[in-house]
Every structure is written in structure tokens, then in C-alpha cells.
Chains A and B, each alone.
Chain A
């Protein structure tokens, strides 16, 4: 449902993405792995309109979304959870979640309330702390909050950038499990960017390996996980 073709994004003279082509299948988890600086985050940021590519195409549901503003990309059903548990610390937990559904308020008020209930059901800890400022949450709770904010926009595709960054293994597992369940039960499509290749390939259906802005492997996740020579060459273990 998302098709990316020879996408190139650069910052000044630094080329972060160098002709990347890949696709994301509906209701599947696709993961993009690679070392630090491979261009993984830039890929997500280019899809969601935060960065402007120099070349290439991104097609979503048959439409080109190149040049769209981030707010229009979300409205078209692609929700991006950026790196670093991006929540707004000065707002309360519930305000952070509500932010993601503001644009749907006028269209479908009932569903906005339902979506909020669903995320509270998914992450009961957030409901307990709904009046607290987001800045007072732990790292794991913030990541849950950032995901919740994305989910209430009722996305068809969820872009997750390094959800495991700086979190304890147990918390990572919990969050990845949640995403996995969500995908399998509701048919949500997920594009997961991870440095932690093992965890990511464990849940994903399909894996893409990026190195220095280029795709070096694009295969079913299990196959990629089994290829020890690729791992040794690009991920260093």
C-alpha cells in the first residue's frame, strides 16, 4: 500500500537516503534495520513530510504524497511516532493523546471518544495518569503515550521510529508485543525502524536492511534474521 521508489534525501552535502526503493504490504509489519546513521529515521521523516526529498517518489494508496505537509500526511492515514518518545512534557497525558484526534473532532466526535477509550484499554497505566503532566512519566510510559497519540488519529499505517531507544528490555518487549497484537487483531500496517535488529525481526513479516542510505537487503524477516553473514557485515554482531 506504500510504494517508495529511488528516494533520495540530503542535508546540504550529506546524502542521508541514496535511491531507496521498497514497499510496505497491507496489514503486515515491515521493519527497517541498520546501524546508526544508515538513514532509517530520515526515511520515516521523508515519508511523513518532515524532510523534503531531492528525488524519487512515495506513493500511498495510489497517490503521490511527495511535497505534502506533515499535517496532511497524518490526515491521509499515516501516523508517525518520531524518535525519542516525542510527547509534549508541558501538556497532560490526556491532552497529549487528544492532540492526535483534534483534526477528527468535527468529522466524527463519537469515534474520537471511542479511540481514547481504546488506547486507555491498551495502556491502562496512561488512564491512571491521565491528569499528570507528560513530563512526569517514565520513558516507557512516554513511548506508550506517543504511540497512543498516533493511534487516536486512526491511522492505516503506523511509522514507529526506534521505540526501544533507551528503554529497559522488559518494557521494550511489552511495547513491541502491543504493536504486534494491534497489527494482528486490527489489521494495522506497521513500518518499524529499529537499531535493535533481533527484536524487530522477531515480530516483523518483512525486513529491509539499510546501510549508508542504500538498501542492501529486502527479504522476509525470518530469512534476514537467519543470514549471519549480512548481520556480521552491517550490524556488527
Chain B
């Protein structure tokens, strides 16, 4: 029973972080048509900024909020400086086919990832360093028995839940949110309605940047920080988004929790070595039943 609860709690708190990563990917995919492989590179970079601030004697929360801000600025800059010029080339014959439209930005984002990792190595050296947690990472003790979850787990779950609620409200209740949804669903109609799609695109990069920076801040206390530590988080987050449906923010969150729990239960009950094969199994089962993910809607391909 204790093992089960431990797996459940660690899976939920891990899953919450993967949900954030997947949500960030889905926002950029819908808003800009790009699978952004640089996302966790951006998160790594802003987590380093927080780490540097905290080491220089600032409080955790100064580092925390500066990192979120830096993450969103970096996201918007990448869109404006790299992805926007790239998407303006859509008229060229090469980018007229769907596969190339998806592949070329992926290559650009891999380039961004490489550049950010190298830059982080140059500025902060490659050695792993710890990153503080704002809440204790030891199990609660209630009546002298240690509970299988920590107050840091609770912190993670509640801050992610709050973020998800705020994001939903933003998209459903505000005009800018409506503009972003419209742009994601049908760019031409959005533009004809007077929506500045360049702005909404950059904004989706910024929001995604902030969400993934939050994920970086929440995962590094348990995984340490180095230029490469978040690579795996990106792959798992991407898988979560694919499992849930890349076109669906709710699906991304669902996929994140599913993967978090699968990873956690496999680690606790089988062995850590089986984790990736299990992820592959889950992915294949989901995609065989629903080729566009659990909440991804109908297969939009014709014929």
C-alpha cells in the first residue's frame, strides 16, 4: 500500500510537470505550427538565470519570477528573430508540402537548442549543480510514520493546478485569448477579422516559454541542473502531447499525467530500465486506437 501511494504521489507531481511541458509544446504547435524542440533548452537557460540570481544572494522568489519573465521574453524573441522569418518563406516551393513545413522549423529549433546549450556551457560551465526547492523534499511525518509524499510534491501539484486554471481562464475569457485561439484554428479567418497574427504568434511563444520555464524550475530540484538535464523532459513532454493530442491543450495535460503515472509505477513496481519501453508501449497503443491522440479529434487528413 505504501509503495502504491508513493508511486501515485510521485507520479502525480512528475505528471504535473510533464503536463506543463506538453502544454507549452501544444500552445506553440497550435499557435505557430512548430514543434519546438528548443523549449526545454529555453527552460534550462531561464533556470540557470534563477540559479545565478539565488547564488548571488537573492531570494528564491526573485529568481523564480525573473526566470518566468526571462523565459517568456526568450520565447518571444526566438519567434520574432528566427521562426517568423522562416515562416515567411512558406511561399517557396520546398515549404509547400506539409512534411517540409513541419520538418524545417524542427531543424531550426534543434539549432536553437544546440546554441542555448552551448551558450549555457560557456557562461555557467557544464558541471551539474543543485537547484533549491522552496519546500522541504523529505516525506511528511504524521504520528511518527513517514508519509510517502513530500511538501515539495504538494507545492508542485498546487502551483501547476493554479497555472492550468489561469491558462484556461485566459484562453476562454479574455479577448487576447480568443484572438490566440482563432489564430491557432484558422489563421486566414483570424487575419480577416483584424487579428494581428504576428503578435498572437509571438505571444504563444512567450506563454509557452513561461510555462516551460516553470517546469524547469519545478523539476531541477530533483534532477540537478546542467545544459543537458532537461533533454529527456522534453522528449517525455512531447510524447505526452502526442498521447493526449497535439491539437488539444486539455489532451496535453491529460497526456502529461498519464506519462507521469506510467513512469512512476513502472519505476516502483518493475525497474527503471523498463521506463522507455513502457512509454513506447503506451504511445503505440494510444496511436493505434486514436492516430491523433486521445483528445486530438478526428483524423483531419483527407481520403
Contacts and interface: CB of A to CB of B under 8 A. Distances in A.
* Chains A and B directly touch (beta carbon < 8 Å): yes
A215 interface: no
Contacts of B194: 71, 74-75, 100, 102-103, 153
B193 A149 contact: yes
A103 B197 CA distance: 12
A103 B195 contact: yes
Interface of B: 175, 178-179, 181-182, 185-186, 188-197
Contact of A87 (B189, B195, B197): B189
A102 B178 contact: yes
B188 A74 contact: no
Interface stretch (A26-34, A88-96, A179-187, A227-235): A88-96
Contacts of B191: 50, 69-71, 74
A82 B192 contact: yes
B97 to A, nearest CB: 15
Nearest to B190: A99
Given A70-B191, A99-B195, A88 B178 contact: no
Given A88-B185, A90-B185, A70 B192 contact: yes
B82 to A, nearest CB: 20
Contact of A91 (B182, B195, B197): B182
A58 to B, nearest CB: 16
A69 B181 CA distance: 20
B192 A88 contact: no
Given A50-B188, A70-B192, A105-B175, A99 B182 contact: yes
A224 B178 CA distance: 44
Given A88-B182, A99-B178, A102-B175, A153 B189 contact: no
Contacts of B186: 86, 88
19 contacts: A50-B188, A69-B191, A70-B192, A71-B195, A71-B197, A74-B192, A74-B194, A75-B194, A82-B189, A86-B186, A86-B188, A88-B189, A90-B181, A98-B175, A99-B178, A99-B179, A99-B193, A103-B196, A149-B193
